[in-house]
Amino acid sequence: MPELAEVEFYRKRWDTAAVGEKVVNVLTHDKKKLLRELDLGAFRRALTGATLLSSEARAKQMLFQFSGDIWLGIHLGMSGELRVEAAGYEPGKHDHLVLVTQRRSTEHRSRGRHAGAGNDLDPIGARPSGDEFVSHVLVFTDPRMFGSVDFHIGKEPPIWWSRIAPGILSKTFTVEAVGNFLQRRQRAPIKAVLLMQERFPGVGNWMADEILWRAAIHPARLAGSLTPGEVRTLWRECRHVCRLALETIAGHGGKLPPDLNVNIPDTWLFNHRWARGGTDPKTGTPLEHATIGGRTTCWSPATQKL
């Protein structure tokens, strides 16, 4: 599931629950894939006792900063999720990384931009009922194991973090930059080009379809065939969809109901694209599906023409 806004949603979940808390236990399994790059011993030793200071999401990646110059990077892959469980949670089959965190229930949390939010952020902390400690279990679960975990020690964030392309909502994401990129990829279908993270960081399969649908551009059009007007519309809808998705999906302080779709309006393609016999919410006409750029693609033939 996780694209730009879902990643931000999951980041907030961990951040909201556990910034200011100290890691008291690190549980891992699966050495083969997700944690393949890691020295598990060093990883557990370093993280145990470290306090979660802050976190950030960029594109589809997250970076959690801990005390002691420790950084934890997470990519959710195709099926990854971050959850927060109560103390005593028993990790399941696909819980590949589990951090047990703790703080004194009397401690005040100083937490940067969340300062002043207080205990009401934390349903467990809100009722300490005499307990000395508040505890959370941070779970990274990923059945398909396309995700990855990176561990880094240093004053600066890891190098891969700084190499993530500037966001679509940043100033460097200009019409010109988009136009130039589309020219370089002129022989590829626009759908495939929108999935390229070096220019459209955070855009995944459903966001690409949503953008093209709103821009009224057929996903199989070759990138080089777009008129200057279409390039401008595409640029605008990239920004629009990113902004809307972040507001709608990630804009609730990590407290959305578990079903991420719940607050997404019917006016989005998102809510119609998977249904068999789904219809375009703007025109009521049937949607079409095909594999374009190697991925399942949904579009509205009534408004997106070849």
Which residues of this chain interact with DNA, rule CB under 7 A? 1-3, 6, 32-33, 59-60, 75, 77-78, 93-94, 143-146, 184-189, 192, 195, 197, 204-206, 223, 274, 291, 293-296
3 state DSSP class of 123:
coil
Least distance to DNA, CB of residue 174, Å: 18
Least distance to DNA, CB of residue 260, Å: 8
Closer of 12 and 22 to DNA (Cβ): 12
Least distance to DNA, CB of residue 224, Å: 7
Burial class, 26, CB count within 10 angstroms (exposed 0-12 / middle 13-18 / buried 19+):
middle
Closer of 95 and 237 to DNA (Cβ): 95
Closer of 53 and 196 to DNA (Cβ): 196
Least distance to DNA, CB of residue 205, Å: 3
Q: Which residues contact 49 (CB under 8 A, 6 or more apart)?
A: 22, 23, 24
Q: Which residues contact 118 (CB under 8 A, 6 or more apart)?
A: none
Closer of 66 and 299 to DNA (Cβ): 299
Query: Helices 4-18 and 228-250 meet at what angle, rounded to 10?
Result: 30
3 state DSSP class of 206:
helix
Closer of 134 and 165 to DNA (Cβ): 165
176 to 137, 190, 204, 226, 233: CA distances (angstroms): 45, 16, 22, 13, 12
Least distance to DNA, CB of residue 303, Å: 21
